[in-house]
Amino acid sequence: MALLEILHYPNPLLKERSLPVETFDAELRQLAEDMAETMYDAPGVGLAAPQVGALKRMVVIDCSAHEEPADLIVAVNPEVIAREGDCMEEEGCLSVPGYFAKVARSARVRVRYQDLEGQTQERDADGLLAVAIQHEIDHLDGTLFVDRLSSLKRSMFRKKYLKMLQQQELEEA
Ligand code: GNR
Ligand code: NI
């Protein structure tokens, strides 16, 4: 059990494409466990391996909030195989703390992935779970939610956010 360090924008690792997982071993299970612990501690509803510096196609998601029992999904090599409808919900990201914006996504998705045993699974999702799945798969392709904003909003984000980071550095110096 270990809490992992979450990388923040503009860390270049967040722009990398993660590699497919081919080996379903104890090391992968340990990473999944540590990612889940890190997600719950943050707290967040999802976490992708590249956010903790591991360029592997694996994500953990739990949108059950405070409901019991918790519904932890560990999805290896996840892909959206069908999508339907459109939505525009406010998103945040543990790698971009303090910034929130509405992002256009599909409203409903069917996702295919492998579990930690390597067994193929499929699952339908809507609402926050559908948004979170799309947000996490984006991380595996090196895409952050701010990359999906209009170019005007994205350039405003960059200016504001980099300025805020500079200010924080000054305060910490
Ligand atoms: O905790 C998170 N909340 C969230 C809210 C709306 C849309 C997406 C998310 S994912 C985010 C955690 C995170 O950054 N995962 O990569
Ligand atoms: Ni994120």
CA of 92 to the centre of ligand 2 (A): 7
The stretch 158-169 carries a mean pLDDT of 93
pLDDT in tens, 52-74: 999 999 999 999 977 777 899 99
- Exposure string over 133-161, b if 16+ CB within 10 A, otherwise e: bbbbbbbbebbbbbebbeeeeeeebeeeb
**What is the per-residue pLDDT for 66?**
73
- Regarding the beta carbon of 91 and ligand 1, being less than 6 Å apart is answered yes
Task: Tell me whether the omega of the peptide bond preceding residue 20 falls within 30 degrees of 0, making it cis.
Answer: no
Q: Which residues have CB under 8 Å from 73's CB, separation 6+?
A: 60, 61, 62, 123
Active-site residue, 136 included: yes
Ligand nearest to the CA of 44: 1
| Active-site hit among 37, 136, 169, 172 | 136
pLDDT in tens, 20-33: 999 999 999 999 99
- Regarding the beta carbon of 105 and ligand 1, being less than 6 Å apart is answered no
What class is the 12-172 domain?
alpha beta
CA of 152 to the centre of ligand 2 (A): 21
Instruction: For residue 80, give the DSSP letter.
Output: E
pLDDT in tens, 105-163: 999 999 999 999 999 999 999 999 999 999 999 999 999 999 999 999 999 999 999 99
